[in-house]
Amino acid sequence: MCVSRFQEPDQAPADAVSSGGARRPVTEDQRSGGKETSGSRPGLLRWLDEKKPLILLLGASLALSLVFFNAFAVPQGDFFGFWWNAVHYLQGALPPSSPYSFKRLPLFSALIGAGSLVMPGSEPVLLAAEILNVALGLVCVWLIYRLARRFLSLSASVAVAALCAVHPVMVSAVAQPLADILLLTLVLCAFDCAFSASRWAYWWACL
């Protein structure tokens, strides 16, 4: 009795699957063993996976800002100058001390004045300033990360942004209802546009 020495292979060739003598291409799912690959994931999930370190950093920075939110019983004295200007801007008038009052960034007073229109409580201008600085603090951390990524690796960029986020000067600037964080945001925006060869750098610089 003659026994066939040929046996059916346990696995089909990598580039084709035999079916009735016909060859058909192997699909990407068969090549990966049915496992989901990074290239086959939906765009949003892939983006979230790539930005996970940055998202975690921004979340931690927001938590730190909320810990020190409204931490001062009385705001720093310069805030009342911004408050005075904001009240006059809302009335459609310039402060009586203009143009001397322009030494306090008019943009900050205009923003907190506009924000106070939707703020509850007895001190809407103060609350608007505090919320604005928390939001701008996150923008600063993101811009620092973005600028660092032009020169450093992902891990190094996250580390640089994290160090800036927890620096005492940064934490204090976010907690105080002053224009320091807004100025830092404008400077970082100008640098980011300058590195991108964008003319918007002049716009951010003039603000």
CA distance linking residue 98 with residue 103, whole number of Å? 9
Instruction: Quick: pLDDT tens for 110-127.
Output: 999 999 999 998 899 999
60-64, 71-75, 89-93, 191-195, range with the lowest pLDDT: 71-75
Task: Report phi then psi at 85, rounded to 5.
Answer: -65, -40
pLDDT the model gives residue 12 = 47
Per-residue pLDDT, 30: 52
Q: How far is Cα 107 from Cα 48, in angstroms, rounded to an integer?
A: 34
Bridge partners (DSSP) listed for residue 22: 19
Average pLDDT over residues 91-95: 86
pTM: 0.74
Residue 121 pLDDT = 85
Structure confidence at residue 129 (pLDDT): 95
Look at residue 1 and tell me whether its pLDDT is greater than 90: no
- Residue 16's pLDDT is 47
Q: How far is CA 15 from CA 23, 43, 86, 202, in A?
A: 9, 28, 70, 56
69 pLDDT more than 50: yes
